[in-house]
Amino acid sequence: MSALYDGEIVDAHIHLWTHAPGRYRWIDAEPANPLARSFAPDDYLCATGELKVVGAVWIEALADDPEAELAQAAALADALPTAMTAHAPLDAPDIEARLDRLTAISRRLRGVRDIVAARPGAPTLARGRDLLARPAFAHGLRALAARGLVFDLLIEPEQMPLALALADLAPELQIVIEHAGNPDLSSPQGTALWREAMRAAAERPRISVKLSALHCRAPGASDEDLAAPILWTVAQFGVERVAFASDFPAHDRTCSLQRSYLTFRRAVSGLGAAAQRALFHDNARRIYRF
């Protein structure tokens, strides 16, 4: 019998920040952006409502000063058990020193994100469109692996072959693909490209995936529409390598946190209790070493 999961949740992807003009340029670039304010643990916990959230993975948000951002977030996170994923430019010549400074700033540091997602002709949040092709980027990935840090990978499906080639150069590195691999579910061609990319990623046992932001990628999609890609992803990676996440507060511009979790809970309600707990709690806790 199907049953909606009602147990403890470790949210695998949230943002908390202290906003100030110029600190987050991508936010300030949009006039009257509702994200142009500070978001603290109380804001997040209010959004979760009666969901039994017991921890979360904080993700950097492209601050002008990543080290200051991590220090501020570490202080904010005292109200919620949190693992931290900071930003570092992985192709920097002093990447080892940068990673060591981040580790010293917060004992909760578990990973690093350096956005690489870029599609031809579309805006990008990446520092450069060619990051995956830079030889120094591979060196940065190996530096992460040497320190036992996770690499949070925000990528477009067409970039996956190059990303996987780099992953093979750092076989000990734990990689977590963000936002379900950014699928374009609006066309058969887009869906096929995404599936091909994710199927190849799933062949690497040290690559996991966060299912989040699907409502952003497919605005107006019903729970039934999204159940198919959710269950397909779980089938490819296995229940031990998938974690659900909210992407608060960015995702809330499209769909509220509680509503998005209802979509996920409905999609996997036919799975067993242990599988559902793995997806909503255990996997994020294990991957990010709570």
Which residue in 248, 280, 276 sits closest to 45, CA to CA? 248
- Residues 200, 245, 111, 171: what is their CA dihedral angle, to the nearest 10 degrees? -20
pLDDT, one tens digit per residue, over 72-106 is: 999 888 888 899 999 999 999 999 999 999 999 99
The angle, 0 to 180 degrees and rounded to 10, between the axes of the packed helices 160-169 and 188-202 is 10
pTM for the full model? 0.96
Low-confidence ranges of the chain (pLDDT < 70): 1
Cα–Cα distance measured from residue 230 to residue 253, given in angstroms and rounded to the nearest whole number: 21
Cα–Cα distance measured from residue 234 to residue 220, given in angstroms and rounded to the nearest whole number: 22
CATH homologous superfamily, domain 8-287: Metal-dependent hydrolases (3.20.20.140)
CB atoms within 10 A of CB 75: 11
Both tokens of residue 280?
A: 């909503």
Spell out the domain ranges in the chain. 8-287
